[in-house]
C-alpha cells in the first residue's frame, strides 16, 4: 500500500513516522514544497532574538536523516500542484528541475498548514516588511536586522507570534511597537487578565497601540487609523494565518467559509482515501463541539498520528481541541486553556468565574512570585470550562494540571481534591490549583458571595449599601475606590458597630483573601455581604488599562 503525504512539519512528518512504525512494508512518499520537512516552527522568534544561537537547532530532521531513520521517500522542493481523487493521483512539480509528473496513491494525507495573512494595505510589498512562518522567513528577518541595522520595529498584530517577536526584537536592540486592533493582546485572554500583561510589557519598553489599525506602510513609518504615525525601520505582519487549502479546494474537497478543510473524527475528508491534518483543517472545540480554527502544534501532531492509525487499520478518533497554550514574555508567563468569557457567552453557556492570586511556591522560601488565576465553570454542572494564568515561575505546570482536568471532564470543585507535589521550592501545601477549587467550593455552597470589577461602577453611592475596604490604612492611602470606607480587617470585629446592620456590605481587600475573611465575619454578625473577586489588585489593573481618569489616590 502506498501513502502520499503532502506537507511536512508537525502533522505530515508525524503521520509519516507513525505510519512507518505501524507498517514496515508500507510505501510512504513525503512531498514538501519547501526545503525543510521538519523544523521548530515555534522557535523561530527566539533565533531572531538570539536566545537560540545556532540556526541548525531549528531543524529537527533533515530530509536525509528522516529518510534514513524511517525509510520514507522524502522529496523536498517538490510541490503538489493538483489532486485527482477519481484517479487517485497527485501531480508534482519538481522545483529544482521544473519537471512535472504524476504520482499514484492508495491513501493521501494533506498537511499543507497555514499561511500568514497579509492585510490589504498599501506598502506590504516593501523590502522592510516581513511575515514569519518558515525558516526562510526567519532568515530574511535575521539578515535584515544584522545588515540594515534597523532601530525601530512595528509589529502589526498582538497575538502569540506578535508578542514573542516583540520580546525578541527588543533583545536584538530595536525599539518595538505593537499595533493591535482589539482592546487587548493575546486573544485567548480576557481583557481583565491581559491588563497585567500590557502593564508589564510597557515596563520592558514595548509600546502598545491598542484599538488601532495600520492604514499604510511607508519607507520609514507606518500610518495609523487615528491619523498618527510610528517610526518603523522594520515591519512584521502578524495578524493571523489562513488555512492553505487551495489544492484541496481545486480537487473538490469540502471546505468551510474560512477555507478550512472539513474532516470527520478520523481526519477523513469528503473524498475517499484522503485525510487532512494540522492547521488547514476545521476542528471541533473540545468543550462546545462547535467548529473551530485553532492552529496549534500539539493538535497537529495528534491529528497526524490519528490519520496514520486509521490508514494502518487502527480505529482512532480526534476528540477536539481545547486551545491549551503558553507564552513567554521576558520573565512573564501567560497560559490559557479551554473557554474564555467571550467563547462561553458565544456558546450560550451560563457560567460563573473566580480569580485567585497565589504565590508560585511557599512564601517563606525565597524567590516566590504571585500568579493571577482566572477560572470559568458551568453553573449547572460545575464543569470546568477554562482557565487563564498570568505570572512568572510555575505558571506552565499549573495550567497543565488544569488542562488535564478539563480533558477528563472535571468539575471545578475537583481541583480542591487534587494531591499535587509539594516542597517549599516548588509549591505550597495549598497549591494555586487547589485554591481555585477551594474558592469555587465556597461559591457553590454559599460560603462566598462574589461581585466583580465590572460591577463596581454601578454600586450605589447614596448610602443604601456599605462599601468597605479592609486593607491597611497605608494601602488605602496609596489608592482606593471612590465611595469605599476603610476598616482594616484586624479591626473589623471591634468596629462592627460602625456598620449599619440593615444594609448589605460590598467588601474588598488587595487580592480577595482578607475580604473573604471579612465576608465571613460579617456573615457571623448577621450582615449580608459580598466580596470583590480579585480585589483591588485586579480592579486597579483593569481600570488603569481603561484609562479612567484618576487622581493619585482615588480611582473615579
Q: What is the set of active-site residues?
A: 42
Cell readout for 36 is 525543510
Q: Are 451 and 353 in contact (CB under 8 A)?
A: no
Q: Is 98 exposed, middle or buried (0-12, 13-18, 19+ CB in 10 A)?
A: exposed
Helix orientation angle between 297-311 and 9-22, rounded to the nearest 10 degrees: 30
Count Cβ neighbours within 10 Å for each residue of 391-406 and write b for 16 or more, e otherwise. bbbbbbbbbebbbebb
Interatomic CA distance for residues 261 and 245, integer angstroms:
7
Question: What are the beta bridge partners of residue 554?
Answer: 480
Interatomic CA distance for residues 271 and 283, integer angstroms:
17
Interatomic CA distance for residues 480 and 552, integer angstroms:
10
Dihedral sign, Cα of residue 417, residue 421, residue 423, residue 427: negative
- Pick left, alpha or beta for residue 234 (phi over 0 → left; psi -120 to 50 → alpha; otherwise beta): beta
- Beta strand extents in 113-160 (DSSP E only): 114-116, 129-130, 152-156
Half-sphere exposure of 505 (CA within 13 A, CB side): 29
Interatomic CA distance for residues 358 and 351, integer angstroms:
23
Amino acid at each position: 500500500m502506498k501513502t502520499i503525504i503532502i506537507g511536512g512539519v508537525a502533522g505530515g512528518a508525524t503521520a509519516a513516522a507513525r505510519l512507518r512504525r505501524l507498517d514496515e512494508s508500507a510505501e510512504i512518499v513525503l512531498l514538501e514544497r519547501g526545503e525543510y520537512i521538519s523544523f521548530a516552527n515555534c522557535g523561530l522568534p527566539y533565533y531572531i532574538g538570539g536566545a537560540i544561537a545556532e540556526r541548525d537547532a531549528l531543524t529537527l530532521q533533515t530530509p536525509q536523516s528522516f529518510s534514513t531513520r524511517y525509510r520514507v521517500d522524502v522529496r523536498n522542493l517538490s510541490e503538489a500542484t493538483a489532486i485527482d481523487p477519481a484517479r487517485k493521483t497527485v501531480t508534482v512539480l519538481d522545483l529544482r528541475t521544473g519537471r512535472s509528473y504524476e504520482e499514484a496513491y492508495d491513501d493521501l494525507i494533506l498537511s499543507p498548514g497555514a499561511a500568514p495573512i497579509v492585510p490589504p494595505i498599501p506598502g506590504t510589498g516593501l523590502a522592510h516588511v516581513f511575515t514569519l512562518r518558515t525558516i526562510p522567513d526567519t532568515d530574511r528577518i535575521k539578515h535584515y536586522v544584522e545588515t540594515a541595522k534597523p532601530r525601530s520595529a512595528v509589529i502589526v498584530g498582538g497575538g502569540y507570534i506578535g508578542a514573542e517577536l516583540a520580546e525578541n526584537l527588543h533583545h536584538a536592540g530595536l525599539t518595538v511597537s505593537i499595533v493591535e486592533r482589539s482592546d487587548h493582546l493575546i486573544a485567548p485572554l480576557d481583557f481583565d487578565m491581559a491588563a497585567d500583561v500590557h502593564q508589564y510589557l510597557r515596563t520592558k519598553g514595548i509600546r502598545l497601540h491598542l484599538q488601532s489599525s495600520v492604514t499604510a506602510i511607508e519607507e520609514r513609518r507606518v500610518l495609523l487609523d487615528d491619523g498618527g504615525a510610528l517610526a518603523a525601520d522594520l515591519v512584521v505582519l502578524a495578524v493571523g494565518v489562513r488555512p492553505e487549502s487551495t489544492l484541496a479546494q481545486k480537487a473538490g474537497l469540502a471546505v468551510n467559509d474560512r477555507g478550512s478543510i472539513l474532516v470527520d473524527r478520523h481526519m477523513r475528508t469528503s473524498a475517499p482515501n484522503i485525510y487532512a491534518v494540522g492547521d488547514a483543517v476545521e476542528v471541533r472545540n473540545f468543550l462546545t463541539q462547535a467548529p473551530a480554527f485553532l492552529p496549534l502544534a500539539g493538535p497537529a501532531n495528534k491529528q497526524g498520528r490519528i490519520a496514520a492509525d486509521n490508514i494502518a487499520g487502527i480505529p482512532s478518533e480526534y476528540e477536539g481541541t481545547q486551545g491549551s497554550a503558553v507564552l513567554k514574555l521576558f520573565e512573564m508567563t501567560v497560559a490559557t486553556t479551554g473557554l474564555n468569557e467571550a467563547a462561553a457567552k458565544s456558546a450560550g453557556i451560563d457560567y460563573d468565574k473566580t480569580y485567585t492570586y497565589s504565590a508560585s511556591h511557599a512564601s517563606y522560601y525565597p524567590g516566590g512570585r504571585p500568579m493571577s488565576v482566572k477560572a470559568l465553570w458551568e453553573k449547572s454542572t460545575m464543569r470546568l470550562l477554562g482557565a487563564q494564568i498570568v505570572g512568572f515561575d510555575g505558571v506552565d505546570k499549573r495550567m497543565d494540571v488544569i488542562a488535564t482536568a478539563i480533558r477528563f471532564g472535571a468539575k471545578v470543585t475537583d481541583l480542591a481534591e487534587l494531591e499535587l507535589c509539594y516542597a517549599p521550592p516548588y509549591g505550597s501545601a495549598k497549591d494555586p490549583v487547589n485554591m481555585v477549587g477551594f474558592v469555587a467550593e465556597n461559591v457553590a455552597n454559599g460560603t462566598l458571595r462574589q461581585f466583580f470589577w465590572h460591577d463596581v461602577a454601578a454600586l450605589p453611592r447614596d448610602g443604601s449599601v456599605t462599601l468597605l475596604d479592609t486593607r491597611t490604612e497605608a494601602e488605602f492611602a496609596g489608592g482606593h475606590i471612590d465611595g469605599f470606607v476603610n476598616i482594616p480587617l484586624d479591626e473589623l470585629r471591634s468596629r462592627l458597630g460602625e456598620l449599619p446592620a440593615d444594609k448589605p456590605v460590598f467588601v474588598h481587600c488587595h487580592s480577595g483573601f482578607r475580604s473573604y475573611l471579612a465576608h465571613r465575619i460579617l456573615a457571623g454578625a448577621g450582615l449580608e455581604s459580598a466580596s470583590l473577586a480579585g480585589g483591588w489588585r485586579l480592579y486597579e489593573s483593569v481600570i488603569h488599562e481603561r484609562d479612567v481618569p484618576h487622581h493619585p489616590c482615588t480611582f473615579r
